[in-house]
């Protein structure tokens, strides 16, 4: 652990994100997170050679509150995982390892490029010292075919009474938050980097992949811009279709398969666009008027969050840069944290064998 002034400074809040997105979306993503409580961001460019990504890299590389890492061949060597979810986990836990030696790195949150972490410093200060993980429950931006601007209205997770009301009104196929939200309902996690815990897509886990109890506070939340417009829906899902194997919850899997089929068909561009937008209309567009009139939406503009990101303490930027360079050359697969297997046995040896099996599966990906 570092000694001297750096060891006595704490409280810096970090995020880790693997993304491939448009320059405009990335600028918003950075501005919104920094205005909502984040101090510094690790951003891993998933496809740095693709069109538009050089502009993204230039913007991120020039930002003094972002550590931008191009994850091309120089990052993965000849061992780039085929699955996007595997790459996300590896990168998030690499960031955790980069921050692990530093007492001033208090929390690390794993968020996607279409998410904003709403962090309250007083709420985080209230987390018991023995608790090493927190939960950010999701709010999802409403989706409209052609919005005039980026939405500031968000859906929150609903109770059974409101879900049943929406089902009876014909707004939902089933009275569940899984049907109400187009994206995930699991939220995201933050961990203390020095705790030894790891990060999956949504959970905080032990080194063996066992989910950990997470502190909850109403001032800690996550904004998710899953598919805020018809055009953004098409862009996002077209990119996902080309990003390698990605896991979806069962209710969204048929839509994901249909989108992948349309994307991969040899169709004229205008025909492909027509049917991608039709899938959007049938599966994702929200009845915003109905949700507003029923009082089910919250208005939040994260860019106006009003929080000022804190500077790294004296000497910390150089120490972090040195640590990043130290870990950059290491093989990346060992940073992967697998989920613990579901087992009915209490045999710890069997559980460990299951973890090793999952890690072998990830290594073959």
Q: What is the pLDDT of residues 22-64, one digit of tens each?
A: 999 999 999 999 999 999 999 999 999 999 999 999 999 999 9
Residue 14 lies in a domain: yes
Cβ proximity of 220 and 120 under 8 Å? yes
Cβ proximity of 33 and 307 under 8 Å? no
Cβ proximity of 22 and 329 under 8 Å? no
Residue 49 lies in a domain: yes
**For residue 304, what are the CA distances in angstroms to 152, 163, 210, 292?**
11, 30, 37, 22
How many independent structural domains does the chain possess? 1
Domain holding 56, by residue range, is 5-131+190-213+298-364
CB atoms within 10 A of CB 274: 12
Token representation of residue 261: 């089929």
Q: What pTM does this model have?
A: 0.85
Instruction: Tell me the three state secondary structure of residue 319.
Output: helix
Residues 6+ away with beta carbon under 8 Å from 39: 12, 13, 14, 65, 309, 310, 312
Cβ proximity of 364 and 107 under 8 Å? no
pLDDT-flagged residues of the chain (< 50): 1-9, 344-348, 350-355, 357-358, 361-365
The pLDDT value recorded for residue 7 is: 39
The pLDDT value recorded for residue 260 is: 84
The pLDDT value recorded for residue 342 is: 61
Residue 145 lies in a domain: no
Cβ proximity of 163 and 180 under 8 Å? yes
Residue 343 lies in a domain: yes
Residue 351 lies in a domain: yes
The pLDDT value recorded for residue 264 is: 87
The residue assigned the tokens 């209205």 is: 153
Residue 159 lies in a domain: no
Residue 65 lies in a domain: yes
Residue 204 lies in a domain: yes
């Amino acid at each position: 652990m570092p000694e001297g002034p750096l060891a006595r400074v704490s409280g810096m809040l970090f995020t880790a994100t693997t993304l491939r997105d448009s320059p405009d979306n990335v600028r918003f993503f950075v501005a919104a997170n920094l205005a909502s409580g984040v101090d510094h961001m690790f951003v891993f460019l998933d496809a740095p050679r693709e069109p538009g990504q050089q502009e993204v890299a230039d913007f991120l590389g020039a930002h003094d509150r972002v550590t931008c890492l191009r994850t091309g061949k120089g990052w993965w060597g000849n061992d780039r995982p085929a699955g996007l979810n595997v790459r996300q986990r590896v990168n998030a836990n690499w960031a955790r390892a980069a921050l692990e030696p530093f007492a001033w790195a208090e929390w690390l949150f794993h968020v996607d490029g279409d998410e904003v972490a709403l962090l309250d410093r007083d709420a985080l200060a209230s987390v018991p010292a023995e608790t090493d993980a927190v939960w950010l429950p999701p709010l999802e931006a409403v989706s409209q075919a052609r919005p005039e601007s980026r939405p500031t209205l968000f859906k929150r997770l609903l109770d059974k009474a409101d879900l049943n009301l929406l089902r009876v009104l014909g707004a939902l196929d089933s009275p569940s938050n899984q049907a109400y939200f187009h994206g995930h309902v699991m939220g995201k996690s933050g961990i203390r980097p020095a705790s030894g815990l790891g990060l999956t897509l949504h959970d905080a886990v032990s080194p063996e992949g066992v989910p950990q109890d997470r502190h909850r506070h109403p001032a800690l939340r996550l904004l998710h811009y899953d598919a805020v417009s018809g055009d953004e829906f098409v862009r996002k899902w077209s990119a996902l279709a080309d990003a390698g194997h990605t896991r979806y919850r069962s209710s969204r899997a048929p839509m994901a398969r249909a989108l992948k089929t349309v994307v991969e068909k040899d169709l004229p561009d205008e025909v492909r666009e027509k049917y991608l937008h039709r899938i959007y209309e049938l599966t994702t567009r929200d009845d915003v008027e109905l949700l507003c009139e029923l009082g089910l939406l919250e208005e939040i503009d994260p860019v106006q969050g009003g929080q000022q990101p804190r500077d790294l303490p004296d000497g910390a930027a150089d120490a972090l840069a040195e640590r990043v360079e130290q870990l950059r050359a290491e093989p990346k697969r060992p940073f992967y944290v697998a989920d613990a297997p579901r087992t009915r046995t209490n045999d710890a040896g069997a559980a460990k064998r299951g973890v090793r099996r999952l890690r072998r599966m990830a290594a073959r990906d």
